[in-house]
Amino acid sequence: MNRSTGARLCATAAVGALSLALITGCSGGSSDDAEDGAKDTGSSASSSAPAAKALTSAELEKLLLAQGAVSGYKVDSGDDLLPKSKKDVKTDKPACDPLAWATGGLAPGDTGANASNSLTEDKKPSGAPTSLEDVSEADIENAFKINITFVGLSSYEGDGAEKAMKAVSDGVKACSGGYGVTADGENSKVTKVAEIEGAAGGDESVGFAEDVDMDGDGTATFHTQVVRKGNTVATFYTADFTALTGGKAAEVPAAVVQAQLARLK
């Protein structure tokens, strides 16, 4: 949790550094490599497994939210912030792998069909400074008042989507005491995992909160939502810097979840 993206002004540079610090250790990017899939961690959660054929990564890309789909949010690929493959994300407890993958848009189950992007809250501050000399403490504080949500879609054959959901549910229980993560060579520590209410709108959902160690400077809490609709699984992970600076949990925006689920069959 130590990478920085840099930025035009020191205020936005600080935001970039913190955003990567929070996201990198517990997330990943999209991948088309089938061998990156999670292992089967149990039997189907239900007997109503969809018989539909899995969508391809290209088909999933078309189902992702596009610019203008959610009022007040900018849509971006998110590729610059996240590891590219499951191979780049390793935990010290295999049961926790689906949690680490879900936080960054990777498929939590065994599939090579995956697509992801990000939505950033689009705030338009008035009177923004135009030079470093004009940056005030208030400008720096306001720069942290943003949230960014990473959205991942993955598709499965047979009852694969239900098995993916069970892997996440089992992982929440198995990893309640925390786990270590290495992403792109950076080490991070999740100190606690707890189940939260799952998002509405799908056939099945699992929500979980993770407390993340901030390099010895306390912890920050982030929420992840994993929702199955048919044989497609959608994952949502939010870094909310307004919540972080106020000591609150970073919750996934319901508007983003509902807009994305509405695009799935």
SS (H, E, C) the chain: CCCCCCCCCHHHHHHHHHHHHHHHCCCCCCCCCHHHCCCCCCCCCCCCCCCCCCCCHHHHHHHCCCCCCCCCEEEECCCCCCCCCHHHEEECCHHHHHHHHHCCCCCCCCCCCEEEEEEEECCCCCCCCCCHHHCCHHHHHHHCCCEEEEEEEEECCCCHHHHHHHHHHHHHHHCCCCEEEEECCEEEEEEEEEEECCCCCCCEEEEEEEEEECCCCCEEEEEEEEEEECCEEEEEEEEEHHHHHCCCCECCCHHHHHHHHCCCC
d(CA 11, CA 141) in angstroms, rounded, equals 8
Residue 18 pLDDT exceeds 60: no
d(CA 79, CA 75) in angstroms, rounded, equals 12
Enclosing domain of residue 240: 10-261
pLDDT class of 212 with cuts at 50, 70, 90: very high
For residue 4, being part of any structural domain is answered with: no
For residue 5, being part of any structural domain is answered with: no
Q: End-to-end CA distance of the chain, in Å?
A: 36
Averaged pLDDT for residues 24-48: 40
For residue 2, being part of any structural domain is answered with: no
Specify the amino acid at residue 235: T
Averaged pLDDT for residues 69-91: 85
Q: Which of 236, 103, 226 is nearest to 162 (CA)?
A: 226
Averaged pLDDT for residues 105-129: 83
For residue 236, being part of any structural domain is answered with: yes
Q: What is the pLDDT of residues 40-76, one digit of tens each?
A: 333 334 444 446 789 999 999 999 999 999 999 999 9
Q: What CATH code is carried by the domain that includes residue 242?
A: 3.40.1000.70
Q: Residues 6 or more apart from 91 whose CB is under 8 A from it?
A: 97, 99, 100, 179, 180, 181, 182
For residue 123, being part of any structural domain is answered with: yes
For residue 50, being part of any structural domain is answered with: yes
For residue 1, being part of any structural domain is answered with: no
Instruction: Count structural domains, the chain.
Output: 1
Residue 80 pLDDT exceeds 90: no
Q: Give the pLDDT of residue 240.
A: 80
Q: Give the pLDDT of residue 7.
A: 27
For residue 221, being part of any structural domain is answered with: yes
